[in-house]
């Protein structure tokens, strides 16, 4: 026997919302989902009229739904935003080249300008080449660090006021778990923030705010929305992702969700309420002396990783700074010995 939509519209239910357990027809689900995103944007004052916003577009379900909904809400509620798509090409054969084709289709469907920046042009390296050097153990560290800075570079190039990312509730809950397991208090402090960075930061003109309109949206509901709206998105997992540390947190979270569906929101709320003692050292956001972009250390992580790749020491930026300093000192010592040996050889 068909179940009637619990919203009272009189139609038959087509799905059960993972977030609330409500049985809804597709139209009522669309309305509820879109209203929740609108409420998140308005309540947290994510945008201001007249702003230019870059949507971080990967071609996946999250960024595709984000682009669709921001365009829809911008028109429906007259936000007055100028929306553009910003994509990063990491240089992963058989993955990113295919997903970028989806991004280009989104560009045509939503009539938004698209800017694509590649690791190759920004850093002189592709992820394929980096993985060939570092292996598949720490490759996600390189990709994550470079992508974050690449988005900042692209945002500065496009002269946008903020970057909207497709981080959903599942992503944020996973990040809370990861930071707790790693004891990373610096990231744990800000990983649940719906808005990071500020244009009011006078100490750093390159600090462009990032906002997460999908912060409270469940991943399953994003997939449902994309499915019933017949949105075109790229669903293949990155070929280098299976060994990522995040995968273990994701598996753990999914197991917990089976027992307690509200666990995703519970973890996010817990992360939001965490407080640290005044004695806990807080990282100070500043500007990297080398590249000029946002950093809480000197040089920034991206510059350190890039230096390691260019020196032939791919693990230079992995682990503690003291270890990296020893690696550089050892390499410089070997170079000096080599130069001295060549001088002696030339004398003969």
Instruction: State residue 343's pLDDT score.
Output: 61
Residue with tokens 């009272």: 8
266 token code pair: 């519970």
Binding residues: 56-58, 62, 88, 166, 171
Whether this prediction's pTM lies above 0.85 is answered by: yes
Binding positions for ATP are 56-58, 62, 88, 166, 171
DSSP code of residue 79: -
Nearest to 321 by CA among 335, 336, 303: 303
Q: What's the CA gap between 89 and 120, in Å, rounded?
A: 8
Report domain extents, the chain.
47-283
Distances (CA, A) of 113 to 60, 67, 105, 119, 122: 18, 12, 11, 20, 20
Q: Enter the tokens of residue 56.
A: 């971080």
pLDDT the model gives residue 147? 95
Q: Report pLDDT for 284.
A: 78
pLDDT of residue 124: 96
For 294, phi then psi, to 5°, come to -55, 135
d(CA 313, CA 150): 22
Judge residue 313's burial from the number of C-beta atoms within 10 Å of its C-beta, 0-12 exposed, 13-18 middle, 19 or more buried: middle
Start-end of H helices in the chain = 26-43, 61-76, 96-110, 119-123, 127-134, 139-158, 169-182, 185-190, 219-228, 245-259, 263-273, 301-311, 321-347
Q: What is the CA radius of gyration of the chain?
A: 23
Domain 47-283 classified CATH 3.40.710.10?
A: no
Tens of pLDDT, residue by residue, the chain (348 residues): 789 999 999 999 999 999 999 999 999 999 999 999 999 999 999 999 999 999 999 999 999 999 999 999 999 999 999 999 999 999 999 889 889 999 999 999 999 999 999 999 999 999 999 999 988 888 888 999 999 999 999 999 999 999 999 999 999 999 999 999 888 877 787 889 999 886 444 445 557 999 999 999 999 999 999 999 999 999 888 888 776 788 889 999 999 999 998 999 999 999 998 877 767 777 777 889 999 998 888 899 999 999 999 988 888 888 766 666 777 777 777 777 776 666 655 555
Contacts of 155 by beta carbon, 8 Å cutoff, 6+ apart: 54, 86, 163, 208
Q: If you write DSSP's letter for every residue of 184-233 in order, what string do you get?
A: -HHHHHHTT-SEE--TT-TT-TT---EE-TTTT--HHHHHHHHHHTT---
pLDDT score, position 200:
46
| Residue in the block written with tokens 């084709």 | 101
164 in Cβ contact with 62 (< 8 Å): no
Cβ-contact 59, 233 below 8 angstroms: yes
Q: What is the pLDDT of residue 202?
A: 41
Hey, is 234 helix, strand or coil? coil
Give the pLDDT of residue 197.
81
Residue identified by tokens 């390499």 is 331
Confidence (pLDDT) at 104: 96
């Amino acid at each position: 026997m068909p179940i009637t939509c619990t919203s009272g519209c009189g139609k038959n239910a087509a799905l059960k919302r993972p977030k609330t357990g409500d049985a809804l027809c597709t139209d009522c689900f669309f309305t509820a989902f879109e209203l929740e995103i609108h409420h998140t944007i308005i309540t947290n004052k994510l945008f201001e009229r007249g702003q230019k916003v870059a949507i971080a577009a990967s071609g996946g379900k999250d960024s595709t739904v984000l682009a669709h909904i921001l365009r829809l809400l911008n028109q429906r509620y007259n936000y007055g935003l100028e929306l553009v798509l910003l994509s990063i090409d990491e240089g992963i054969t058989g993955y990113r080249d295919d997903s970028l084709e989806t991004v280009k289709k989104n560009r045509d469907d939503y009539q938004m300008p698209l800017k694509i920046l590649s690791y190759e042009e920004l850093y002189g390296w592709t992820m394929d080449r980096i993985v060939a050097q570092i292996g598949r153990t720490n490759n996600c560290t390189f990709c994550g660090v470079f992508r974050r800075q690449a988005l900042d570079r692209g945002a500065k190039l496009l002269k946008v006021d903020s970057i909207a990312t497709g981080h959903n509730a599942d992503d944020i809950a996973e990040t809370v778990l990861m930071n707790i397991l790693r004891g990373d208090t610096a990231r744990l402090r800000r990983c649940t923030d719906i808005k990071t960075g500020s244009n009011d930061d006078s100490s750093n003109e390159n600090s462009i705010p990032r906002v997460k309109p999908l912060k409270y949206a469940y991943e399953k509901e994003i997939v449902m929305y994309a499915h019933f709206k017949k949105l075109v998105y790229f669903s293949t997992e990155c070929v280098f992702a299976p060994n990522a540390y995040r995968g273990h947190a994701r598996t753990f979270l999914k197991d917990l969700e089976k027992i307690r569906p509200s666990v995703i929101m519970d973890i996010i709320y817990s992360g939001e309420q965490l407080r640290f003692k005044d004695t806990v050292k807080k990282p100070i956001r500043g500007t990297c002396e080398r590249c000029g972009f946002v950093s809480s250390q000197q040089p920034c992580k991206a510059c350190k990783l890039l230096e390691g790749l260019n020196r032939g020491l791919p693990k230079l930026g992995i682990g503690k700074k003291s270890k990296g300093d020893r690696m550089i000192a050892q390499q410089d010592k070997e170079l000096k010995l080599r130069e001295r040996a060549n001088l002696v050889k030339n004398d003969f």
